[in-house]
Amino acid sequence: MPHPRLARLLAALEAARYQFNAGDGTKVEKLLRSLDRARFPDPASLIRFHEALSFVRAFPQSVGVLKTAERILNRFHEKVEVLRQSGADMDEFDTFEHSGIAGTTMEDTLSFDVARWLVRRLPGQVEIAWENYDPGRELGTTGPRFMPLLEDDAFVEADTPFRRWLETASGFRPSIRGSASQTGLAAKRRKSAAHGASRGYKAELLIKPRRGERKTAVVTDRATAKWLIDCLDRLPLPPQQKAELYESLRIPPRWHLGNSPITRTRNWRSPRKVFYHRGPLISRSQVSLAEELARRPPTFTRLSLREGERIADMIREVMLVRYRELYGTTLADPRSVVRVDFGRNTPAAPSLPRSLRQGWEFSGGEANSARGLEIYLWNLPPQRRLPLRAYVAGFTLKNGVPINYIEAIGLCEWMEVGFNTFYTFRGGEAGWIYAQVLRCLCAWMGTTVVSVYPYQLGHDNEEAIESGAFWFYRKLGFRPGRPDLLKLAEREEKKIAASQESLAPQIRARYRGPRHAHGAVVERASLGTSEPARPYRTPATILKRLAAGHVFYELPHVAARHRDPRHAADAVAERANLGDGAEIGAWDRFSTRNIGLRVNETMAHEFVGDADRMRANARRALERALGVKMDSSMPEQTPLDNFALVLSLVPDLRTWSKQEKQDLLRIIRAKSNPDEMLYLHLTQRHARLRQALLKLGS
């Protein structure tokens, strides 16, 4: 338990990090210096200091706060090491919320793409967590590809020593000196050292000998993991098959972060300009999503390949140290990365009160329309794209610090969006930042229907239930797609409104705005009234019901009017066939899963479950309908095969006009185009295809 003075300092810093009035920067700077000199007796208090430091690095009140926070963070691993040497239990550093701090160790089962990247990104710091890995038949089946004669052992023996095979083949030679009894003792200590490493302890130890013993070195193996991954990578197989082989082994790599810049402690970029907060943060109640989306979109600057690779590396680092992995962050195409430029002449929040707009200042002293935000977006490489939908991933930097990640998957004018603000930064303008992210996505993708999937709302996600995530989206203007859930939400809103009206005026003022609609503690001892101490709080059981379906936000085709001019000549300029705005409810019941299941149902009934036969039949039918013969070696072949399966379920395809068929062929070919947004924009112009997809997927 922390000393009372340390507890007071931590509480003061945690409160002061959200205060941005005159003099608050000086106060925060003094608190940082005082805490830097303090001794932290347990992981919990050191983690609290780390989280507050990370927040003020992203949301600094002054130059002094920024510089002091950076100085402490750059040496934070020393504080972790002092705590470890004291014998503290380091397990708290390895939770989902707090992982990735400098000086700690992590362990997880990774995808092949991430594991291959990791052994190259942290050379000599990745090992196999043998105490948590017991290879069996799967390694006996895969291993003979790179361990000669293994099958003579693995195929017939019940006690195949797979670890010994792997370490021998990789060239690992543990050097243990001493008598037989000392070797046994060393083995026991090696097991203990490995156990300590899994809890965040250093894995390479030099055991201090007891009296009468010779020094015994405990050598850990950080070569086998890389050797195994390199062997799989050299196999003459497509990337997906290499991934299948590796992931079937379920190998748990362990990596040692040290003071690496990939830790979330030190993972920031130097921003072009730093934004210093001189006034209150923007609350969610001050954000109008409709106004933000109606503004002229920002511009998009495509990065060079080298800079794109740096961004792709950074998002992998950001996700890795938080035990997260998304398809689009793992497989980011560095050639597609764009940076969002908000521009000096496009104020980001003119609807805010003048008192908030005052003090918007950054290092150059000029008005900062983006409040220190940089948003990066990218697509997937052509060979790893989804069959039907277009994929966009991204993240946001706040003064150079990664604060969230973004995922958007689109088809025609519809996109499904995932947005996650990291725990550390959830008190920092999340509503306004989310509005800027949607503004960028709608502009770049040309989408006008935004959907949020149930997991984000709380379906099988207790964290989202506890935070009342449903109300975050509802108060921004999203509506449930299911009529029964819409009625339930409206009933809850009436209860919340009635509850707030019953409160005394002094208390009601605290609960204005959606941030408090989910309920919060009210301190009323000094008011002496008989009203309830809390406004109505939606029960968790009802929040789980509300999270059972998607929510939607439709907007006029503002984004379409400002679409990337490079694609204007590639499609019809106006969308007369689709109307002037988003068609309310058209996508409420749509899912590409429905299309996939219908294809598989047809395969089972008409082709006896033979996928190859169905693909060949569908390909021939589509080529006849379009009047083309595709070369199987061309990159368009895979998109053609995928579309052929879907269009085999469209009975009137042969009646489509010549122009509609030509436009369809352009869409199919665009799926393998270097710029995947061209494909998405073309689908938005093909009314007949849109109609067919909606019918199949709803």
pLDDT, position 633: 63
Q: How far apart are CA 113 and CA 247, in angstroms?
A: 10
Main-chain phi, psi angles of 404, to 5 degrees:
-160, 175
Buried-exposed string 379-417: b where 16+ CB fall within 10 A, e elsewhere: bbbbebbbbbbbbbbbbbbbbbbbbbbbbbbbbbbbbbb
**Confidence check: pLDDT of 597 > 90:** yes
More confident residue, 356 or 220: 220
Of 75-79, 187-191, 631-635, where does mean pLDDT reach its minimum?
A: 187-191
What's the start-to-end Cα distance of the chain, in Å?
Answer: 56
Q: 611 with 532, same domain?
A: no
SS3 379: coil
515: nearest Cα among 428, 618, 452, 431: 431
Residue 212 in any domain: the answer is no
Q: 522 with 604, same domain?
A: no
Average pLDDT in the chain: 84
pLDDT above 90 as % of the chain: 71
Q: 596 with 538, same domain?
A: no
pLDDT, position 348: 44
Q: How far apart are CA 515 and CA 519, in angstroms?
A: 9
CB 58 within 8 A of CB 403: yes
**Confidence check: pLDDT of 364 > 90:** no
pLDDT, position 176: 43
Query: What DSSP element (H or E) covers 375?
Result: strand 373-378
Count of helices and strands (H, E) across the chain: 30, 16
Q: Helix crossing, 611-626 with 637-647: angle to 10°?
A: 90
pLDDT, position 152: 95
Residue 316 in any domain: the answer is no
> Mean pLDDT across the stretch 618-634?
84
Tokens representing 693 are 């997809």
pLDDT, position 351: 45
Q: 542 with 611, same domain?
A: no
Residue 368's pLDDT band (boundaries 50, 70, 90)?
very low
**What DSSP state is assigned to residue 556?**
B
Q: What's CA 377's distance to the chain center, in Å?
A: 12
CB 378 within 8 A of CB 338: yes
Residue with tokens 């609290």: 48
Q: How far apart are CA 551 and CA 451, in angstroms?
A: 6
pLDDT, position 353: 42
Q: 524 with 609, same domain?
A: no
Q: 596 with 541, same domain?
A: no
514: nearest Cα among 289, 293, 321: 289
Of 118-132, 199-213, 383-397, where does mean pLDDT reach its minimum?
A: 199-213
**Listed residues 79, 94, 109: the one ending a domain:** 94
Residue 178 in any domain: the answer is no
CB 59 within 8 A of CB 281: yes
CB contact set of 663 (below 8 Å; sequence gap of 6+): 682, 685, 686, 689
> Mean pLDDT across the stretch 591-600?
97
CA 561, 564, 569, 570 torsion-angle sign: negative
Residue with tokens 């590809």: 145
**Confidence check: pLDDT of 367 > 90:** no
pLDDT above 70 as % of the chain: 80
What are the distances in angstroms from CA 278 to CA 62, 367, 550? Answer: 8, 12, 38
Buried-exposed string 88-100: b where 16+ CB fall within 10 A, e elsewhere: bebebbbeeebbb
pLDDT, position 193: 36
Q: How far apart are CA 623 and CA 241, in angstroms?
A: 29
Residue 411 in any domain: the answer is no
Q: How far apart are CA 428 and CA 32, in angstroms?
A: 19
Residue 250 in any domain: the answer is no
Tokens representing 363 are 């290092």
pLDDT, position 582: 56
CB contact set of 547 (below 8 Å; sequence gap of 6+): 454, 457, 458, 459, 461, 464, 465, 469, 470
CB 405 within 8 A of CB 315: yes
What are the distances in angstroms from CA 658 to CA 224, 369, 693? Answer: 59, 48, 19
Residue with tokens 């210093």: 276
Q: 525 with 594, same domain?
A: no
Main-chain phi, psi angles of 101, to 5 degrees:
-80, 145
Of 34-38, 161-165, 505-509, 591-595, where does mean pLDDT reach its minimum?
A: 505-509
Q: 521 with 596, same domain?
A: no
pLDDT, position 584: 86
Q: How far apart are CA 192 and CA 161, in angstroms?
A: 20
CB 249 within 8 A of CB 135: yes
CB contact set of 199 (below 8 Å; sequence gap of 6+): 89, 90, 91, 94, 105
> Mean pLDDT across the stretch 250-258?
95
Of 300-304, 530-534, 681-685, where does mean pLDDT reach its minimum?
A: 530-534
pLDDT, position 638: 87
Q: How many structural domains compose the chain?
A: 3
Q: 596 with 691, same domain?
A: yes
pLDDT, position 188: 36
pLDDT tens-place string over residues 417-467: 999 999 999 989 999 999 999 999 999 999 999 999 999 999 999 989 998
Q: 613 with 679, same domain?
A: yes
SS3 662: helix
Q: How far apart are CA 367 and CA 184, in angstroms?
A: 69
**Confidence check: pLDDT of 194 > 80:** no
pLDDT, position 206: 30
Main-chain phi, psi angles of 257, to 5 degrees:
-80, -35
Of 360-369, 402-411, 472-481, where does mean pLDDT reach its minimum?
A: 360-369
> Mean pLDDT across the stretch 332-358?
64
Q: How far apart are CA 400 and CA 396, in angstroms?
A: 9
Q: How far apart are CA 471 and CA 285, in angstroms?
A: 12
pLDDT, position 502: 77
**Confidence check: pLDDT of 68 > 90:** yes
Residue 391 in any domain: the answer is no
Of 205-214, 310-319, 563-572, where does mean pLDDT reach its minimum?
A: 205-214
The domain in which residue 88 lies consists of: 4-94
Residue 529's pLDDT band (boundaries 50, 70, 90)?
very low
**Confidence check: pLDDT of 571 > 80:** no
Which regions of 422-550 does DSSP assign to beta strands (E)?
A: 449-452, 479-480
SS3 555: coil
Tokens representing 410 are 């689109």
**Confidence check: pLDDT of 85 > 80:** yes
**Confidence check: pLDDT of 197 > 70:** no
pLDDT tens-place string over residues 286-297: 999 999 999 888
Q: 599 with 510, same domain?
A: no
Opening angle at CA 546, ends 542 and 549, nearest 5: 150
> Mean pLDDT across the stretch 100-118?
96
**Listed residues 45, 60, 94: the one ending a domain:** 94
pTM (predicted TM-score): 0.84
pLDDT, position 471: 95
CB 203 within 8 A of CB 189: no
Count other Cβ atoms within 10 Å, centred on residue 9: 20
> Mean pLDDT across the stretch 535-543?
92
Residue 180 in any domain: the answer is no
Query: What DSSP element (H or E) covers 405?
Result: strand 401-411
Q: How far apart are CA 242 and CA 513, in angstroms?
A: 51
Residue 557's pLDDT band (boundaries 50, 70, 90)?
low
> Mean pLDDT across the stretch 495-520?
61
Q: How far apart are CA 460 and CA 457, in angstroms?
A: 9
Residue 173 in any domain: the answer is no
Residue 203's pLDDT band (boundaries 50, 70, 90)?
very low
**Listed residues 526, 549, 572: the one ending a domain:** 549
pLDDT, position 220: 52
pLDDT, position 24: 94
> Mean pLDDT across the stretch 518-538?
52
Please, where are the H alpha helices in 134-285? Answer: 137-142, 151-154, 162-170, 180-198, 224-234, 239-249
**Confidence check: pLDDT of 117 > 70:** yes
**Confidence check: pLDDT of 210 > 50:** no
